[in-house]
């Protein structure tokens, strides 16, 4: 099932519940043309937090960076950054391609 920006941003907005966005038993869905898997936002937050304790140049650091940057298109589809600002300079640099 595809949900579009127009459906979310209708003239008379109504509250959206989590189960309307992703019903029980469904692992993900296409949102604004991008498949978004459940857990994407939670995994992104945990990976960003873990990056603080990882050492640059290690396989662990590189794996975290890969997961963080791989999540960006899905977070963009969810329009996370239209309502939340990235305050961490390291993450902002990764998203700008400077990490």
Q: What residue segments make up the domains of the chain, in order of their start?
A: 2-95
Instruction: Give the pLDDT score at 4.
Output: 60
Instruction: Give the pLDDT score at 13.
Output: 75
Instruction: Give the pLDDT score at 20.
Output: 87
Q: Which residues pair with 31 in a beta bridge?
A: 3, 34
Instruction: Give the pLDDT score at 45.
Output: 96
- Inform me whether the pLDDT recorded for 71 exceeds 60: yes
- Inform me whether the pLDDT recorded for 91 exceeds 80: yes
Instruction: Give the pLDDT score at 74.
Output: 96
pTM above 0.85, yes or no: no
> Is the pLDDT higher at 34 or at 13?
34
């Amino acid at each position: 099932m595809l949900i579009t920006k127009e459906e979310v941003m209708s003239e008379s907005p109504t509250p959206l519940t989590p189960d309307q966005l992703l019903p029980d038993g469904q692992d993900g869905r296409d949102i604004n043309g991008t498949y978004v898997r459940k857990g994407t936002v939670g995994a992104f937050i945990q990976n960003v937090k873990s990056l603080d304790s990882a050492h640059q140049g290690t396989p662990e650091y590189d794996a975290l960076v890969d997961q963080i940057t791989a999540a960006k298109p899905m977070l963009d589809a969810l329009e996370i950054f239209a309502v939340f600002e990235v305050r961490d300079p390291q993450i902002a640099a990764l998203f700008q391609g400077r990490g």
